[in-house]
């Protein structure tokens, strides 16, 4: 076999392995800037690799999920959240005979646009960008892969395939070409749902670890109660730390398996015979059973009321926003403080957008260091 034949073989294997509604790599609508196909990797494998090798991806390790990085070494970061999302989505994708490479690429890129300090950072930036085009992390993820990452002399961005870029439009109404429907794939919707499963489970875990929420408090939540009664029967002598870990594992499994089963039945009922059919369907492609939706909502509400509003989380949030506002104002007041690479973009994008992109790209710790450099009198600049 020639080297040239490797990708073709992988693509042929997809034909036999994939469900009729899965996206086939060779059917991709391709890239904005046409490139020669790789000899061994499919279009989506190549996209995945570009994402992993991007600068934005490496920064995820020092960006907040809920807990600011310096609060502890065991809390989720934006990077571990991304990996958990990816792993859950791939399990679902394999079970439903979908294109796992496409799933992997979308998952790994889905949070690239998050600024420092998680949602707190996003709120601050969107406030500061009012009247200047706004800021939203999903939109920023797409902006990063389409414009800001630099890997090639001939084009800006990572030049990812159409299907991956569309997969990043989680809330299509927030994107510029409003009114234009998102290209629908089961793969993209699996990633959207896996994102929620991942953060629900790991925030619960981190919240318990930080003792911001308690097991007693969780007794109000049906999902928690069901899992505990199962665990008590099976392991009557289990220790607390094990119980927490076991609960999280069982919880992920329940949510994933419910979604796999319900979605399989749902897609069968819809009678989808190809990706084109998906475009005409109204309503979700990926589904959770009605009873599990109710339980998921109940758990989400519990986390909103007890974890995300916990005074220590609110403090972290406020502190993060304060840093961001201060930096933003300082750069606007004296753009001469911006490094040359950012100043170069001012001409192209305007001062507000260039500053916003600069700050959105920062990790939590970079923001803190930069704050010291700008405001601490005896800190080196």
Contacts with Mg ion, residue ranges (CB under 5 A): 111, 195
The least CB distance from residue 11 to Mg ion, in Å, is 30
Pairwise CA distance, residues 79 & 100, whole Å? 19
Nearer to Mg ion, 199 or 331 (CB): 199
Q: Cβ 275 to Mg ion, closest distance in Å?
A: 24
Nearest approach, Cβ of residue 195 and Mg ion (Å): 4
Nearest to 103, CA basis, from 175, 40, 185? 185
Tokens standing for residue 110: 């889905």
- H/E element, 330: helix 311-333
CB of 69 to Mg ion, least distance (A): 17
Residue 100 or residue 111: which is nearer to Mg ion going by CB? Answer: 111
Burial code (b: 16+ CB inside 10 Å, e: under 16) for 124-162 equals bbeebbeeeeebbbbbbbbbbbbbbbeeeeeeebbbbbe
Q: How far is the CB of 255 from Mg ion (least distance, A)?
A: 15
- Shortest distance (Å) from residue 170 CB to Mg ion: 9
**Which is nearer to Mg ion, 66 or 212 (by Cβ)?**
66
Residue 192 near residue 293, CB atoms below 8 Å: no
Shortest distance (Å) from residue 196 CB to Mg ion: 8
Nearer to Mg ion, 205 or 370 (CB): 205
Closest to Mg ion by CB, 187 vs 195, is: 195
* Long-range CB contacts for residues 367-376, cutoff 8 Å, separation at least 24: 367/116, 367/117, 367/320, 367/323, 367/324, 367/327, 368/323, 370/327, 371/323, 371/326, 371/327, 374/326, 374/327, 374/330, 374/337, 375/326, 375/330
Closer Cβ to Mg ion, 88 or 313, answer by number: 88
Distance, CA of 306 to CA of 303 (rounded, Å): 5
Nearer to Mg ion, 189 or 195 (CB): 195
Which among 209, 225, 204, 375 has a CA at the least distance from the CA of 302? 204
């Amino acid at each position: 076999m020639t080297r040239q034949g490797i990708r073709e073989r992988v693509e042929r294997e997809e034909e036999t392995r994939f469900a009729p509604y899965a996206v086939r790599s060779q059917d991709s609508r391709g890239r904005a800037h046409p490139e020669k196909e790789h000899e061994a990797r499919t279009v989506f494998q190549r996209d995945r690799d570009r994402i992993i090798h991007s600068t934005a991806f490496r920064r995820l390790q020092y960006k907040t999920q809920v807990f600011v990085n310096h609060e502890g070494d065991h809390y989720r970061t934006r990077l571990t959240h991304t990996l958990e999302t990816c792993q859950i989505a791939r399990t679902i994708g394999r079970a439903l005979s979908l294109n796992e490479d496409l799933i992997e690429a979308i998952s790994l890129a889905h949070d690239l646009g998050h600024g420092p300090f998680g949602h707190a950072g996003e709120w601050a930036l969107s406030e500061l960008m009012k009247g200047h085009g706004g800021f939203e992390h999903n939109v920023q993820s797409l902006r990063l892969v389409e414009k800001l990452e630099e890997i090639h002399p001939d084009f800006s961005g990572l030049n990812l395939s159409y299907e991956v870029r569309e997969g990043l439009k989680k809330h299509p109404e927030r994107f510029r070409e409003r009114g234009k429907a998102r290209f629908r794939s089961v793969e993209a919707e699996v990633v959207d749902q896996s994102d929620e499963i991942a953060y629900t489970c790991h925030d619960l875990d981190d919240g318990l670890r930080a003792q911001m929420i308690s097991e007693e408090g969780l007794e109000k939540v049906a999902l928690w109660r069901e899992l505990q009664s199962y665990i008590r029967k099976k392991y009557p002598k289990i220790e607390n730390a094990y119980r927490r870990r076991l609960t999280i594992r069982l919880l992920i499994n329940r949510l994933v398996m419910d979604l796999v089963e319900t979605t399989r039945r749902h897609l069968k009922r819809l009678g989808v015979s190809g990706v084109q059919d998906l475009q005409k369907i109204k309503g979700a492609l990926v589904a959770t059973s009605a009873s599990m939706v109710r339980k998921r909502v109940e758990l989400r509400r519990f986390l909103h009321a007890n974890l995300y509003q916990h005074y220590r989380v609110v403090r972290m949030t406020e502190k993060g926003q304060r840093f961001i506002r201060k930096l933003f104002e300082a750069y606007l007041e004296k753009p001469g403080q911006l490094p040359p690479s950012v100043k170069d973009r001012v001409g192209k994008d305007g001062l507000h957008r260039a500053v916003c992109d600069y700050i959105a790209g920062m990790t939590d710790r970079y923001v803190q260091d930069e704050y010291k450099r700008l405001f601490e009198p005896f800190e080196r600049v």
